[in-house]
Amino acid sequence: MIDGLRLDISADELVKLLEERINEHTENARVDDQNAQRLGAMRRADDPDEWDDDQGSRLKNRAQIERDRADALTFMRNHVIRGETYRLTEGDLRTLEILRCRPW
């Protein structure tokens, strides 16, 4: 009898999946940083707008969260033992962002 969801994934496939997620987080951070810089450039020094400050701060914070997540996934990817097969639970798949949606 098998208890719960367990999937066997090769190290190579796991690394590939992690790299996709790392690239996505890195790109999201780049876009958020770029949008925060654009917002800052649009502000005029003689007409400060609180909304721009709040929005720019939120974008910068979101970019940092994306970078932190990319760093965590990079750490995990760098510690995958090549040639092994990993038996992953549903929780593992969510942590690795392979499963990103909630169960039905």
Taking the CA atoms of 28, 31, 33 and 36 in sequence, report the sign of the dihedral they define: negative
Helix %, strand %, coil % for the chain, to 5?
65, 10, 25
- How far is the C-alpha of 69 from the C-alpha of 88, rounded, in Å? 20
Q: What is the pLDDT of residue 16?
A: 97
Token duo for residue 53 = 């400050």
Summarize pLDDT for 67-94 with one digit per residue, the tens.
999 999 999 999 999 999 999 999 999 9
Fill in the DSSP letter of residue 47.
B
Contact 86, 9 (CB under 8 A): yes
Q: What is the pLDDT of residue 47?
A: 58
In the chain, where are the structural domains located? 6-95
Angle at which helix 50-78 crosses helix 11-42, to 10 degrees, equals 160
Q: What is the pLDDT of residue 45?
A: 52
Weakly modelled stretches of the chain, pLDDT under 50: 46
